[in-house]
Amino acid sequence: MKFILGQKQEMTQIFKEDSGDVIPVTRISAGPCSIIRVKKQDAPDGYNAAVIGLVGKKKMGKRDLGQTKGLGNLQYIKEFRLIDPLEAQAGDLIKVDTFEIGDRVKVIGISKGKGFQGVVKRHGFHGQQATHGTKDQERAAGSIGSTDPARVFPGMRMPGHMGAQQITVKNLEVIKIDIVKNEIFIKGAIPGARQGLLMISTDGELKLTQPTAVVKENKIVATEKKEKIPETETEAVAAAKETAVKTEIK
């Protein structure tokens, strides 16, 4: 299973090179995401999953970054359930190159919040008639039931908070992938506002990169160089001083 976290940027359009058709797409800034933890069924967790994180603009405190174990300012942390156990280590990166053009992905996001709304906008009620004695009730819900039960039944469509719910859209096609800018273009509309967090997943083999080992090797080489340079400088200065003293004595 392939998966990644991203943030919705904007909607735009792409022209096909062969036919010139216009394709409406959503531009998503996805990854790179760091693997924080891998859960396995034979472990105490009892199920297969992968916990990954995405860097955000908000500066996180030490208490919030406790489980990241020094992997960076991971503001967004999500878990993906897996069928088979994932062979990966903490610190491995997931980039957009794990997806391919033509993949059918599932996108999960939080829809735009619209605040407290009435039944006309929230549920599509047509409202009351505007004549024959109706006064200030054109957009009212009307009766919500008989007085015999003396209560409102669960599930009654009434005014309330609208939006800000988790929405899942399946079978969306990947149109374009920009590896340099870490962007993925998906056909159609995607729930959520700009900069909203998205969970993108599909079937296939997950591609992982391991920059942590390379960085550690570079740090080790740089440290060794920094340690050797002062020693050689000290020896050269000491030799110069000895030469100067011998010259003065002669």
Cis link prior to 154 (omega < 30° from 0)? no
Together in a domain, 179 and 101: yes
Instruction: State how many domains the chain has.
Output: 3
pLDDT of residue 131: 84
Distance from the first to the final alpha carbon of the chain: 80
pLDDT in tens, 74-84: 888 888 888 88
pLDDT at 82: 87
What average pLDDT does the chain have? Answer: 81
Q: Which domain holds residue 233?
A: 211-250
Is 250 in the same domain as 156?
Answer: no
pLDDT the model gives residue 234? 56
If phi > 0 it is left, if psi is from -120 to 50 it is alpha, else beta; for residue 208 that is beta
| Residue 187 backbone zone (phi > 0: left; psi -120 to 50: alpha; other: beta) | beta
Name the one residue in this structure whose structure tokens are 């919040």.
113
Confidence (pLDDT) at 124: 92
Clarify whether residues 10 and 88 are in a common domain.
Answer: yes
pLDDT band of residue 114 (cuts 50, 70, 90) is very high
What pLDDT is recorded for position 210? 77
Question: What is the Cα–Cα distance from 101 to 174, expressed in whole angstroms?
Answer: 5
Looking at the fold, whether 26 and 126 belong to one and the same domain comes out as no
- Cα gap 144→165, rounded to integer Å: 25
Q: How many angstroms separate the CA atoms of 185 and 107, rounded? A: 12
pLDDT of residue 212: 46
pLDDT at 173: 92
- Check pLDDT > 90 for residue 121: yes
Q: Is the pLDDT of residue 58 over 50?
A: yes
CATH code, 40: 2.40.30.10
List Cα–Cα distances, 170 to 81, 147, 201, 202, in angstroms. 16, 43, 10, 9
